[in-house]
Amino acid sequence: MEFSLKVNQQNFTVEVDPGTPLLWVLRDELQLMGTKYGCGIGQCGACTVHIDGEAQRSCQTTIEIAEGQDITTIEGLSDHGDHPVQEAWKEIDVPQCGYCQGGQMMTASAFLAKNPSPDAKEIRMAMQGNICRCASYNRIEKAVAVAAEKLTK
Amino acid sequence: MSKTINRRNFLRLSLLGSGGLLIGLQFAGCESKGSEMPVDIDTLDFTSFNAYIEMAKTGHVIIYSPNPEIGQGVKTAMPMIVAEELDVPWKMVTVKQAPLSNDFNRQVAGGSQSIRQNFPTLRNAGATVKLMLMTAAANQWKIPVSECSAEDAIIKNTKGDQLKYADVLEAAALLEVPEKAPLKKSKDFKLIGQPIANVDIDEIITGKPIFGIDYKEEGMKFASIIIPPFGANLATFDAKKALEQKGIEQVVAIGDKVAIIGQNTWSVFKAKDLVDVQWKNIKSDQDSKVIDAKMDKALSKKANKIVGYGQYDKAIKNADKVISKTFSSPYVAHATLEPLCFFADVKEKNVRLIGPTQVPKDSATTVAKELGIPVENITVEMTRMGGGFGRRLSTDFTLEAALISAKIKAPVKLVHKREDDMDSGQFRPKVKYQMTAGIKNNTLKAFQIREAIAQNFGLRPWNANFFPKGTTDHYNIESALIETEISTLWWRAPISNMVGFSTGCFLDEVAEEMGKDVIDLHHEMLDVATGKKLPYAPKRMKEVIDLVKEKSNWGKSDKIQGFAAYFSHNTYVAEVCEIEMRGDVPVPTKVFAAVDCGIVINISGAKAQVEGSILDALGHSRNSEISIVKGKVQEQNFDTYKLGRMMDTPVVETYFVDTNAAPTGLGEPAYPPAAAAFANAVKKATGKRWTNHPFLA
Ligand code: FES
Ligand code: FES
């Protein structure tokens, strides 16, 4: 079936089976590989994207639901890799293997858009759904705080 | 070292090979460049000096990182060592992953050995090229090279003349490569010891396709796989329903496994669940509970002696007090966040393999052997890996991809669905350690570790010789192997992870029994070890213990603290964990770590490894368990296989001993003491001794 999608401000038409998760449309049809597969059941957050500004699990979002919505992936978070969250991630040198980090940054950026000056506990709660198997949690936490500072400046 | 002019051509070709991918990205309108790399280095003309170094007239340098990158940071640290001796500004360096090649030593990510084993070679690679450049400049000035010096890519002579490396590049490249060149003194290191960001940071934060699972090329098929329960074989399968699905092309048996081949990942994942597979020879004894009982039985009698000295049995008989405790861990999965995957293109006479592997060479030889293709005709390209932890030291998934490609006669990317990744587990062995101590005159006199382990490797002289060997007059290490068909493998800090935990907890118990501070007990023990020939240096161990004592304010702090120390992978680590009681639940809030890993190459990456190892240990010891019933893995995904998350993460503070000693490993050694330090703090707070992982089960 044909579906039209708006991803990172661009319009696409894709021909996929109904029920296909947005994750696989992004990766296999649109070649947007920054959105990662980790579990497929909404547990790890590696596949996090923004749908109308909300952090959502793209493995749990079917193409029918995604159609017509405003979707942003890590590739579209900023034009030059300079979103405050990306800059903070770089400054703190967060990634170890790096695999989870796109999802982490998408969760963090949606969260900070709603709550630009969070306290430590709020940061931890917001990031609780994203697994980092390398356990770079200390730096993720620090980077979210640094990004918050950048955003409010 | 020989020159390798062909490397670039090879890489050019392999870039062309992934052309489909690049086009795909442009199509999606996401062609942004890292902000600090204004030049497209692929358009520059580079001169190759050796397997590691290429330089362009613009002053840009490419350094090839030989070893696989699994998140342990060698892709940043190894080139830093080359750049230090070459003496070029880091901002002019681009790091590339080298493919498998005979030009390099052991291209393996395992055992925390990449830096330790390659340090001299990497330095020499940089220093020899620096010498060639200086010689070319000296020739031009018609003076002896001894009158030249070089720094930051600029060569100077005693008269004050200057030449840039770039000016003498071509002349230098024509010179004979010297065998050896003078190396810097460690006090003159400028780059080594600095905090350098992960070299792939720009790609990672912008979501570039750099991982194995991201690889794609024109005409490639997609595959998923079904894995039999441990010990069982494939009887039959009915793929009718799966084949009716759109996008599904074939379902084939690959030995006892079943592969589903189709046009995209989702279709092969979905179809996988529609294949009706029948197994035979399902074995009821391939079961965690059965193995547990076998272990308990094995621990009740003497096992195979691994290492020992003194008169252990006699010392126990004569002891004033004997204490004993048993510690245990279930199977634990690697569960790399990027699931197992590989690309293979098997042609009649040659094979291309591309993907995440910790052992590119083993991958090539395994595939060569299975397919009967000469190993010279197999190329392996290493992608960045979404975690390794030891799992990608095995070649099973690379071979699966190759066998599928050979069978369907097409290039294919195999991706394990998370559930199949769990079924393909080659777990951290299920293990129990029975620790016994004999105390006489309030001194620790006899020490025994008896291991029961469900795998074919376990305590061996190399790790049985670690601390606390030498610290008691009588010492005995035994191991009983429990045979099963459940696959096990190296897993971050293999063996030392649980024997380190058990030792750390047990010494805490011993100290309590003796009414001594556990750090004082360690000092006493290390005094006994001093002067003996041991694989570890008691003095260095004392130094990390004292450093963590000072930093954590041990003995004076009003926090609830636990301590443990261990030596593994040639590195010394002592840790203090602070906890807080939240209701009945002890939560770790802070961990102090003192580390002696010799010279620290990249302080940012080094700290990341210490943080990661500690949080990894705390996460797994509290949460994670794989249980097997009739050969089948029960925990199929992250809903039941629990990992540490943000909320229960303590803050790690890391301190390195200031030393000139040669660098050792860092991907693993901070792991073993962490859960022990935590459990020791819990004992203090609650009076309860946690012995079994996972603590929160
Ligand atoms: S892949 Fe979507 S939450 Fe894990
Ligand atoms: S950095 Fe490896 S999973 Fe997070």
For B100, B378, B381, B402, the CA distances from B354, given in Å and listed in that order, are 11, 11, 5, 10
pTM here is: 0.91
Average pLDDT of every residue of chain B = 91
Is A133 touching B (CB cutoff 8 A)?
A: yes
Question: Which pLDDT belongs to residue B460?
Answer: 84
Both tokens of B199, joined, read 């070299």
Distance CA B480, CA B498 (A): 15
Asked if residues B49 and B3 have their Cβ atoms less than 8 Å apart, the reply is yes
Nearest to A80 among B32, B197, B651 (CB): B32
For an interface test with B, give the residue of A97, A137, A141, A142 to mutate (most B CBs within 10 A).
Answer: A97
Q: How would you label B269-302 residue by residue, b for 16+ Cβ within 10 Å and e otherwise?
A: bbbbebbebebeebeeebbbebbbebbeebbeee
Tell me the three state secondary structure of residue B168.
helix
For an interface test with A, give the residue of B204, B415, B419 to mutate (most A CBs within 10 A).
Answer: B204
E strand or H helix at B645, and its extent? none
Span B561-570, mean pLDDT? Answer: 96
User: What φ, ψ does residue B408 adopt, rounded to 5°?
Assistant: -95, -5
Nearest to B338 among A41, A96, A99 (CB): A99
Q: How would you label B74-102 residue by residue, b for 16+ Cβ within 10 Å and e otherwise?
A: bbbbbbbbbbbbbbbebebbbbbbbbbbe
Distance CA B260, CA B6 (A): 38
Q: Is B106 left (phi over 0), alpha (psi -120 to 50) or beta?
A: beta
Determine, for residues A31 and B21 on separate chains, whether the beta-carbon distance falls below 8 Å. Answer: yes
Nearest CA in chain A to B20: A31
Nearest CA in chain A to B612: A135
Distance CA B76, CA B199 (A): 5
Residues lining ligand 1, Cβ inside 6 A: A 37-40, 42-47, 57, 59
Computed on alpha carbons and rounded to an integer, the radius of gyration of chain B in Å comes to 27
Determine, for residues A97 and B387 on separate chains, whether the beta-carbon distance falls below 8 Å. Answer: yes
Q: How would you label B106-131 residue by residue, b for 16+ Cβ within 10 Å and e otherwise?
A: ebbbbbbbbbbbbbebbbbbbbbbbb
Asked if residues B70 and B331 have their Cβ atoms less than 8 Å apart, the reply is no
Question: Which pLDDT belongs to residue B16?
Answer: 28
Give the model's confidence band at B112: pLDDT under 50 very low, under 70 low, under 90 confident, else very high: low
Q: What is the CATH number of domain A2-76?
A: 3.10.20.30
Distance from CA of A123 to the nearest CA of B (A): 9
CB-ligand 2 contact for B387 (6 Å cutoff): yes
Give the model's confidence band at B6: pLDDT under 50 very low, under 70 low, under 90 confident, else very high: very low
Query: Per CATH, is B212-282+340-415 categorized as 3.40.50.300?
Result: no
Determine, for residues A96 and B639 on separate chains, whether the beta-carbon distance falls below 8 Å. Answer: no
**Nearest alpha-carbon partner for B616 in B62, B71, B35:** B71
**Nearest alpha-carbon partner for A5 in A75, A73, A104:** A73
Q: A84-152: what CATH class?
A: mainly alpha
Low-confidence ranges of chain A (pLDDT < 50): none
Asked if residues A117 and A55 have their Cβ atoms less than 8 Å apart, the reply is no
For B83, B203, B320, the CA distances from B138, given in Å and listed in that order, are 21, 40, 75
Atom number in ligand 2 closest to CA A46:
3
Question: Which pLDDT belongs to residue B445?
Answer: 97
CB-ligand 2 contact for B71 (6 Å cutoff): yes
Is A89 touching B (CB cutoff 8 A)?
A: yes
Chain A residues with CB-CB distance to B608 below 8 A: 93, 96, 136, 139
Distance CA B349, CA B101 (A): 19
**Nearest alpha-carbon partner for B342 in B259, B229, B453, B449:** B259
Nearest CA in chain B to A97: B71
Burial of A66 (0-12, 13-18, 19+ CB in 10 A): buried
Question: Could you read off the pLDDT of B66-91 as tens digits, one per residue?
Answer: 888 777 788 888 899 999 999 999 99
**Which residue type is seen at B502?**
S
Question: Which pLDDT belongs to residue B685?
Answer: 97
Determine, for residues A28 and B265 on separate chains, whether the beta-carbon distance falls below 8 Å. Answer: yes
Is A1 touching B (CB cutoff 8 A)?
A: no
The yes-or-no verdict on residue B392 having pLDDT over 50 is: yes
Asked if residues B479 and B453 have their Cβ atoms less than 8 Å apart, the reply is yes
Half-sphere exposure of A11 (CA within 13 A, CB side): 3
In the CATH hierarchy, which fold is given to the domain comprising B289-331+427-686? Aldehyde Oxidoreductase; domain 4 (3.30.365)
Distance CA B302, CA B120 (A): 44
Determine, for residues A81 and B206 on separate chains, whether the beta-carbon distance falls below 8 Å. Answer: yes
Where along chain B do its domains lie? 33-205, 212-282+340-415, 289-331+427-686
Give the model's confidence band at B111: pLDDT under 50 very low, under 70 low, under 90 confident, else very high: low
Contacts of B24 (CB under 8 A, 6+ apart): A31, B216
Question: Which pLDDT belongs to residue B9?
Answer: 29
Determine, for residues A8 and B209 on separate chains, whether the beta-carbon distance falls below 8 Å. Answer: no
DSSP result, B287-327: SHHHHHHHHHHHHTS--EEEEEES-HHHHHHT-SEEEEEEE
First-to-last alpha carbon distance for chain A, in angstroms, is: 46
More confident residue, B216 or B14: B216
E-strand stretches of B21-100: 46-48, 53-56, 61-65, 93-97
Query: Per CATH, is B33-205 categorized as 3.10.20.30?
Result: no
Span B330-334, mean pLDDT? Answer: 98
Distance CA B16, CA B9 (A): 11
The yes-or-no verdict on residue B17 having pLDDT over 80 is: no
Distance from CA of B391 to the nearest CA of A (A): 13
Distance CA B162, CA B103 (A): 33
Is B278 touching A (CB cutoff 8 A)?
A: no
DSSP state of B183: P
How many of the other CB atoms lie within 10 Å of CB of B427? 24
Q: Tell me the CA–centroid distance for residue A37 and ligand 1, in Å.
A: 6
Question: Which pLDDT belongs to residue B75?
Answer: 86
Determine, for residues B265 and A124 on separate chains, whether the beta-carbon distance falls below 8 Å. Answer: no
Contacts of B153 (CB under 8 A, 6+ apart): B59, B87, B88, B89, B92, B164, B165, B166
User: What φ, ψ does residue B607 adopt, rounded to 5°?
Assistant: -65, -40
For an interface test with B, give the residue of A22, A36, A37, A101 to mutate (most B CBs within 10 A).
Answer: A37
Both tokens of A134, joined, read 């390398």
Span B420-433, mean pLDDT? Answer: 97
- β-pairing, B431-440 vs B443-453, is antiparallel
Determine, for residues A34 and B25 on separate chains, whether the beta-carbon distance falls below 8 Å. Answer: no
Q: Tell me the CA–centroid distance for residue B693 and ligand 1, in Å.
A: 26
Give the model's confidence band at B281: pLDDT under 50 very low, under 70 low, under 90 confident, else very high: very high
Chain B residues with CB-CB distance to A127 below 8 A: 646
Place of tokens 């090229």: B129
Nearest CA in chain B to A133: B337
A-facing residues of B in 21-50 (CB < 8 A) are 21, 24-25, 27-30, 32-35
Give the number of whichever ligand sits closest to the CA of residue A99.
2
The yes-or-no verdict on residue B462 having pLDDT over 90 is: no
ipTM: 0.98
Pocket test for ligand 1, best of A35, A43, A107, A131 (most atoms within 8 A of CB): A43
Distance CA B614, CA A135 (A): 9
Contacts of A77 (CB under 8 A, 6+ apart): A83, A85, A86, A105, A106, A109, B206
Give the model's confidence band at B110: pLDDT under 50 very low, under 70 low, under 90 confident, else very high: low
Distance CA B476, CA B446 (A): 8
Place of tokens 């000139």: B660
User: What φ, ψ does residue B53 adopt, rounded to 5°?
Assistant: -125, 130
Residues above pLDDT 70, as percent of chain B: 94
Where along chain A do its domains lie? 2-76, 84-152
Pocket test for ligand 2, best of A97, A105, A137, A140 (most atoms within 8 A of CB): A97
For an interface test with B, give the residue of A6, A132, A142 to mutate (most B CBs within 10 A).
Answer: A132
Is B212-282+340-415 in the same CATH topology as B33-205?
Answer: yes
Span B476-482, mean pLDDT? Answer: 96
The yes-or-no verdict on residue B27 having pLDDT over 70 is: no
